[in-house]
Amino acid sequence: MNGRARGKLGQGGWIALLVLFCILFMLPLFYMADLSFRSQNDIYNPRLILLAGKTLKNYVTAIRQNPTLLNNLISSLVISSVSTVAVVLFSSMAVFGFSRKHVYGKIFMYNMILSTLMVPISALVIPITQINSNLNLLNNYFGLILPYIALNIPYAVTILQGFMQGIPKELEEAAIIDGCSTARLYSKIYMPLLKPGIVVVAIWTFLTCWNEFFLALCTMTKATTKTLPLIAQQYKGVYNSQPGILFAILTLITIPMIIFYIVVQKQFVKGITSGAVKG
């Protein structure tokens, strides 16, 4: 066997291994979708049922029992989108100041921001809920947007700092000699060069805000302001267990995220590999 044949055989082995891992990771999603199309009699069957006994009754019932589902979708989209844009803007400005400007106490501020990564969100739910209550932000988009911004900025700063260190300072020096102001330096030079990192931060922040549950559960209590992950919670419990409808709701929540990731996966992988190369 020559080297070319061995290379193709090795490549085929890696492809087979990746396909196997893909199937293993996607199996829970397939199983969730399969359960969402089952009748009540088949819902507790542990095996996958690919064709027989399929019904759309769970989806029809879920939509019929939740007339505010469109409002919940809009709530999730608005909160996640606004939080993502704000996190990208504020974190990129912070990294620009930490890396390129002589700010008094910037090392202390940077370390304080990074230290917040050690605080779990579950420890902050009660204090944030009390603050929202005092500020009349319960059942208000900003009751989630503002905490989401604060909680995601440390991660965003950590990611963008690595990308910023890979940008040569000579570009800034040349731009300043040409008369470039600080605002134009940030918007016209650094923001385009930070694009791979910004894509990673935007995708991660959007997915995190979309899937967040505990803080949203305490902040959004009205049916019209709830986010999508809260809708599934009402179908799980000792006295109200409807697994078919529950998995239908979970599938509806997951579909937008799958579509979103398929659309941006190339940019996401490109951003991660670019950050790895830049160190």
206 domain-assigned? yes
* Residues 90, 155 contacting (CB under 8 angstroms): no
Q: How many domains does the chain have?
A: 1
73 domain-assigned? yes
12 domain-assigned? no
207 domain-assigned? yes
What pLDDT does residue 39 have?
A: 81
Separation between Cα atoms, residue 278 and residue 197, nearest integer Å = 11
Crossing angle for the helix pair 195-211 and 243-278, nearest 10 degrees? 160
Find the domain containing 154 and state its range: 68-278
Separation between Cα atoms, residue 137 and residue 160, nearest integer Å = 31
What pLDDT does residue 53 have?
A: 67
51 domain-assigned? no
Separation between Cα atoms, residue 69 and residue 71, nearest integer Å = 5
3-state secondary structure of 73: helix
What pLDDT does residue 3 have?
A: 60
Which residue ranges of the chain lie beneath pLDDT 50?
Answer: 238-239, 275-279
124 domain-assigned? yes
84 domain-assigned? yes
153 domain-assigned? yes
Q: If residue 276 lies in a helix (H) or strand (E), which one and from where to where? A: helix 243-278
Q: Which CATH number characterizes residue 145's domain?
A: 1.10.3720.10
What pLDDT does residue 135 have?
A: 92
* Residues 43, 35 contacting (CB under 8 angstroms): yes
